[in-house]
Chains A and B, each alone.
Chain A
Amino acid sequence: MALRAYEIRPYVLGNIFLLAELICISLYYKRKLFTSSPKYLWIVACFALGFCIHTIYMGISNLNILGASVLCLFYIIHGLMGYLKLLRKPEELYLSRSTLFWISTSFFIYAASNCLVFLFATYLKRESYLLFMAVWGSFFTVVNILHYILIGVGLYKTEKSGT
């Protein structure tokens, strides 16, 4: 109601959220994986710009679900690279103590599970609203809860280990 009062559509906020999420995650992985790679920030900037252009093209008041699924692929790659770094790092033996493991797991499982959900959301909504609600209302919510729990564990480990 408050959003309606200010004439802001929730999907506008959704698009802003997706963009902010991309920036925050990229900054985290820049610090963890790409510390000595200046090209990384340019790639992220290109992604962000592409996402903004596509959002404007689709109409800012619609949720950019195609952009969201592309961002999911971006997070899947980050998660896998996080794992690769952990496996190659001999001093990081105990995964449960590593922030990178928990955060990578969180984004990897979230992105891998929701990539297709985002991609086919419009189609499902149009063809079978009940099925769409089942996927969006239960599956997506459960994965999202798991995603934030894992992030929470990762943040807790950061405080403990200082890494």
Chain B
Amino acid sequence: MELEYLIIIAIGIMTLMASAVIVFVILHQRRVIRHQLELNELDSKKQIELFQAAAQSEEEERQRIAAELHDDVGATLSSARMFLHQAEKYSTSPELIMQSGQLVDDSIRKVRDISHKLQPGTLQTLGLHTALQALSDVYKRSGSIQFDVLPASNLPRLDAHRELHTYRIVQELTNNILKHSKANFIVLQITAMSGEMILTMQHDGSGLNNDSFNTLLAQKGGIGLKNISTRLKFINGQIAFTQQSANSFITELKIPTLL
């Protein structure tokens, strides 16, 4: 073969080799991306499992404390109240006993409220709407805020995990509103449409928007907000914060009703 053609073949081989190097780089990087995605997926699965375990043990602990408060402390206080009632009849100073009785009544009520907050008994039996109504009653009774849950009909039941997580998210949001927003009222509306349950919380204090929520989430601390975010991730929910006017903030939760 003539040298000219050998040169042409050499040029061709060089071009092919260069192309092969480029293809190798692209394929190698694709493999790295795939590996990275797999790692991320594993990491996120592990995180969800960890959160699931932590949430479960937290709920069990809450249940245990609630049961202790209700069955033990509550029962003891009720007995004390009964004895005081008896003592009132024979005492020479019934006012003192009446005052003690009122204090015991207050304690019984507080223990019941704490017990309910720790373990919403109505959630499992009567569903999210009723449990949130009971929660709003607790807040109203304490006199800290006017909390109204608007009536709703034909709400679908979520599975137990989703209901509990949604309940805890609303509870955390309410606590945050109480702590930080100086609001006078909260109105909660629950609706369901196209495979989603939508919970809209409106209050008249100072609130968050989506950007400030994300900023707070990225900062150190903010455990409550991080818990909300993790719970939402766990149940595939979404949260959005909007400001309607100077003193009207809306938090919207979207929870898929179907798995």
Contact between A83 and B4 (Cβ–Cβ < 8 Å)? no
Scan residues 1-44 of chain B and give those whose CB is less than 8 A from a CB of chain A: 3-4, 7-8, 10-11, 14-15, 17-19, 21-22, 25-26, 28-29, 32-33, 36
- Among candidates A80, A87, A115, A127, residue contacting B14 with C-beta atoms closer than 8 Å: A115
Scan residues 91-116 of chain A and give those whose CB is less than 8 A from a CB of chain B: 93-95, 101, 105, 108-109, 112-113, 115-116
Complex contacts, A109 vs chain B, CB 8 Å: 15, 18-19, 22
A83 to B11, CA, bound (A): 22
A131 to B4, CA, bound (A): 8
Contact between A116 and B25 (Cβ–Cβ < 8 Å)? no
Complex contacts, B29 vs chain A, CB 8 Å: 86-87, 93, 95
Scan residues 125-145 of chain B and give those whose CB is less than 8 A from a CB of chain A: none
A2 to B10, CA, bound (A): 38
Contact between B15 and A113 (Cβ–Cβ < 8 Å)? yes
- Among candidates A80, A87, A135, A143, residue contacting B8 with C-beta atoms closer than 8 Å: A135
The interface centre, meaning the residue of B4, B8, B18 with most chain A CB atoms within 10 A of its CB, is B18
Chain B residues bordering chain A, tally (CB within 8 A): 20
A112 to B3, CA, bound (A): 20
Expressed in whole angstroms, the minimum distance between the Cβ of B249 and any Cβ of chain A is 35
Complex contacts, A139 vs chain B, CB 8 Å: 11
- Tell me whether A124 and B4 are in contact in the complex, defined as CB-CB below 8 angstroms, given that A93-B32, A108-B22 are known contacts: yes
Contact between A87 and B28 (Cβ–Cβ < 8 Å)? yes
Contact between A113 and B21 (Cβ–Cβ < 8 Å)? no
- Among candidates A93, A101, A112, residue contacting B17 with C-beta atoms closer than 8 Å: A112
Counting CB contacts under 8 A, is A123 at the interface?
yes
Contact between B15 and A83 (Cβ–Cβ < 8 Å)? no
Complex contacts, B4 vs chain A, CB 8 Å: 123-124, 127-128, 131
A116 to B19, CA, bound (A): 16
- Among candidates A105, A112, A120, A123, residue contacting B15 with C-beta atoms closer than 8 Å: A112
| Nearest residue, chain B, Cβ from A115 | B14
Complex contacts, A94 vs chain B, CB 8 Å: 33
A135 to B144, CA, bound (A): 87
Complex contacts, A68 vs chain B, CB 8 Å: none
Contact between B21 and A83 (Cβ–Cβ < 8 Å)? yes
Contact between A116 and B33 (Cβ–Cβ < 8 Å)? no
Complex contacts, A66 vs chain B, CB 8 Å: none
| Nearest residue, chain B, Cβ from A143 | B15
Contact between B25 and A113 (Cβ–Cβ < 8 Å)? no
A105 to B10, CA, bound (A): 20
A86 to B28, CA, bound (A): 11
Contact between B11 and A105 (Cβ–Cβ < 8 Å)? no
A135 to B28, CA, bound (A): 32
A79 to B18, CA, bound (A): 10
Q: Which residues of B are at the interface with A, using a C-beta cutoff of 8 A?
A: 3-4, 7-8, 10-11, 14-15, 17-19, 21-22, 25-26, 28-29, 32-33, 36
List 29 contacting pairs A-B, 8 Å CB cutoff, sorted by A. A76-B18, A86-B25, A87-B28, A87-B32, A93-B29, A93-B36, A95-B29, A108-B18, A108-B21, A109-B15, A109-B18, A109-B22, A112-B15, A113-B11, A113-B14, A113-B15, A115-B14, A116-B7, A116-B10, A120-B7, A123-B4, A123-B7, A124-B4, A124-B7, A127-B3, A128-B4, A131-B4, A139-B11, A143-B15
Q: Which residues of A are at the interface with B, using a C-beta cutoff of 8 A?
A: 76, 80, 83, 86-87, 93-95, 101, 105, 108-109, 112-113, 115-117, 120, 123-124, 127-128, 131, 135, 139, 143
Query: Told that A87-B25, A109-B22 touch, could you supply 13 new A-B pairs with CB distance under 8 A?
Result: A87-B28, A87-B32, A95-B29, A101-B25, A105-B22, A108-B21, A109-B18, A112-B18, A113-B14, A113-B18, A116-B11, A131-B4, A139-B11
